[in-house]
């Protein structure tokens, strides 16, 4: 089985068009889009219209081609639109919503998780502490959650996040694969310790919980994103944790490239492509 993986396209229509072009040429069995699919910036609530129009048309294209398309929203995609996102996926038989879900295709289990480790930025729709001992960093302002009528302000974010599950908890709550050696995890947050989590300033922000989960469960493949510039900073886009291959393609520090990965799950041949 052949898959094509990309992530962090942030509503860049030209990248979505290149994704269609790549899939039309390479003919993968499965395309996976690993989060942060919607436009970001000063008008986040326009994401609703983007889901209903551009994203729906995008899904239809892959449905017409008969290519499975697995995806979920990321940390810059407002959680208030998750139901609309999932309903839009459900309009097309070949499109599968993967957030905190398991999808079986061709004898492989694809399992997704789109929570991320807390950061100093204000939008907190998908933020969690990494582990119970994780120390929340200094914040750039009060926390914000998306709501129908705008944002809800969380003035004491450090206290509030203590009431929420951790990344470690969320991973343990995921549905288990039938066989970890035939499991592909799509986890937006990159693991710690592997050089797949390097920010432009050199800071490494990967999840210890994700790393420990991979090491202990040993799935066949894990796919990540979130830190666009990491491969440019560390020079690494793939790594191994014992028998598990971990891939974080990035999207370039300036988001000027379209980056994707091809993987043959049967031979475990994988390549990174930049266009």
pLDDT tens for residues 189-217?
999 999 999 999 999 999 999 999 999 99
Which helix H or strand E contains 63, and what residues bound it? helix 56-65
Residue 47 has pLDDT above 80, yes or no: yes
Strands 143-147 and 150-154: antiparallel
Residue 262 has pLDDT above 80, yes or no: yes
Domain with residue 77: its CATH number is 3.60.21.10
pLDDT tens for residues 87-134?
999 999 999 999 999 999 999 999 999 999 999 999 999 999 999 999
3-state class (DSSP) for residue 16: helix
**pLDDT reported for residue 254:** 72
Question: Which strands, in side-by-side order, build the sheet including 68-71?
Answer: 95-97, 68-71, 30-33, 2-6, 259-264, 269-274
The overall average pLDDT reported for the chain is: 97
- pLDDT band for position 256 (cuts 50, 70, 90): confident
Residue 255 has pLDDT above 80, yes or no: no
Which helix H or strand E contains 234, and what residues bound it? helix 230-234
pLDDT tens for residues 121-142?
999 999 999 999 999 989 999 9
Number of domains in the chain: 1
Structural domain range at position 235: 2-274
């Amino acid at each position: 089985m052949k898959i094509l993986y990309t992530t962090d396209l942030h509503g860049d229509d030209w990248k979505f068009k290149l994704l269609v072009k790549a899939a039309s040429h390479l003919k993968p069995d499965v395309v996976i889009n690993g989060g942060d699919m919607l436009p970001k910036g000063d008008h986040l609530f326009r994401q609703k219209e983007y889901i209903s129009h551009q994203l729906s048309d995008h899904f239809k294209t892959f449905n017409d081609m008969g290519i499975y398309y697995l995806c979920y929203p990321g940390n810059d995609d407002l959680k208030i639109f998750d139901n609309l996102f999932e309903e839009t996926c459900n309009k097309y038989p070949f499109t599968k919503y993967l957030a905190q879900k398991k999808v079986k295709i061709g004898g492989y289990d694809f399992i997704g998780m789109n929570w991320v480790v807390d950061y100093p930025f204000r939008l907190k729709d998908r933020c969690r502490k990494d582990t119970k001992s994780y120390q929340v960093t200094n914040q750039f302002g009060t926390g914000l959650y998306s709501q129908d009528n705008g944002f809800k302000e969380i003035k004491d974010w450090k206290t509030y996040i203590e009431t929420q599950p951790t990344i470690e908890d969320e991973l343990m709550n995921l549905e288990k694969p039938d066989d970890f050696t035939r499991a592909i995890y799509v986890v937006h947050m990159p693991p710690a310790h592997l050089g797949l989590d390097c920010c432009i300033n050199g800071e490494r922000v990967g999840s210890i919980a994700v790393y420990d989960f991979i090491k202990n469960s040993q799935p066949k493949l894990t796919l990540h994103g979130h830190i666009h510039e990491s491969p440019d900073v560390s020079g690494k886009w793939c790594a191994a944790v014992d028998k598990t291959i971990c891939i974080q393609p990035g999207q370039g520090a300036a988001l000027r490239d379209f980056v994707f990965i091809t993987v043959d799950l049967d031979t475990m041949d994988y390549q990174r492509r930049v266009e």
